[in-house]
Amino acid sequence: MSIDVAAVRAEFPILSRKVHDRPLVYLDNAASAQKPQVVIDAVTHAYAHEYANVHRGLHFLSNLATDNYEAVRGKLQAFLGARHEEEIIYTTGSTQGLNLVSYGWGAPNLQEGDEIVLSVMEHHANIVPWHFLRERQGAVLKWVEPEADGSLDPQRVLDACGPRTRLIALTHMSNVLGTVVDVETVCRAARERGIATVIDGSQAAVHMPVNVAEIGCDFYAITGHKLYGPSASGALYVRRERFGEMRPFIGGGDMIREVHRDRISWNDPPHEFEAGTPGIVQMIGLGVALDWLTGLGMENIAAHERALRDYARERLAGLNWITVQGDAPGKGAIFSFTMEGAAHPHDISTVIDRKGVAVRAGHHCAQPLMEFLGLTATTRASLAVYNTPAEIDALIDALETCHSLFA
């Protein structure tokens, strides 16, 4: 089934607005996606008619909010292909999820000299938590570089592993290059060696079907605001066998079973790792966003975005003064580029914004990758299910205008 893009676009109120008297062309989806009306309505309705704290009250509203909030766990389980519902921990997004792995699993299990293998393509959210372990526990970070086309050879990742390697941390899809990493090959080989694996699925989960059981990873982090859901929503998949090796790192609320003056006991996973009053409405909104995504079909979304990617690649290739970073086979619809001459990515972004085209400029929270590429920044256009070939044409027209100003 193909995507009816006109019908999809009609579900997003913001796409009908104008910016600088131009129709909005929103190509900053790798940073955050826009929200369909059904998600906006769900959040409004929950606050207006069904809000109460969860798990703690016996009154009608608390029970209703608890039921709606907890129902999202099963949706996340199905969306990620997890075997067990309790393998899903609610988070505020990938950053919290990856830090949970660092504090909850890494800190109690890594000793001085133990190694963490990661790629230079990682987003800072999948780098900084491991630097914490480097600084505080003496862990060693081992870096793997991509190929010239931006692809990442799984064998190079495995070759970087030694007898002291305890963890491999990889992106599933690069937020800069669009590279889709063969994480299944890495994870299955790592498990045979007794090495834990954590995958940053922030980009991949919105663009392609994900099945964590087939991937074979131990941890998989996603963030709701890229999945057309509310900000401050997300989840961390934890393979059930790893829970016994983890400890909670934020205390209070539903993560507690009993508290006494001289002792304390924790709730069962996943609640053991969900402290305090959670983002109740945010998670309810994420559940609606997941229903919306699965209603379209992740395979259908992937096919639509592949067509957009191919068209954008062709149009950008016609601009001989544009250099696109990364062209790995099977890459996602993310294009980071530079322009010859004096045009800085910030200048490019500012100029084309005047034509209504929203893109991102900077290092994209991926400074090790920028250093590897020999750049300080790029301009990035990232596509979503609601984007069209006509919007890619608008990007090209805006870039040509920009080039004429700086040539």
Six-digit token pair at 77? 């389980």
Are 339 and 348 a contacting pair, CB within 8 Å? yes
Summary count for the chain: helices (H), strands (E):
15, 17
Query: Read out DSSP for 134-145?
Result: HHHH--EEEEE-
Is 365 considered catalytic here?
yes
CA-CA distance, 138 to 141, in Å (whole number)? 10
Distance CA(80)–CA(212), nearest Å, equals 6
Report the distance separating Cα 3 and Cα 80, nearest Å: 22
Could you give the CA distance from residue 276 to residue 255 in angstroms, rounded to a whole number?
Answer: 8
Displacement of CA 107 from its chain's centroid (Å): 23
Cα separation, 28 vs 100, in Å, equals 27
Residue with token string 């929200």: 35
**H or E element that contains 302:** helix 298-317
8 A C-beta contact, residue 324 and residue 399: no
Residue 80 identity: L
First to last CA, the chain: 44
Yes or no: say if 380 and 326 are a contact pair by the CB < 8 Å rule.
no
User: What percent of the residues of the chain are helix, what percent strand, and what percent coil, each to the nearest 5?
Assistant: 45, 20, 35
DSSP state of 105: I
Distance (Å) of CA 280 to CA 68, 96, 202, 232: 9, 16, 21, 10
Catalytic one of 161, 187, 217, 365:
365
Contact between 190 and 158 (Cβ < 8 Å)? yes
Rounded CA separation 181/193 (Å): 20
Q: Distance (Å, rounded) from C-alpha 173 to C-alpha 115?
A: 23
Catalytic residue positions? Answer: 365
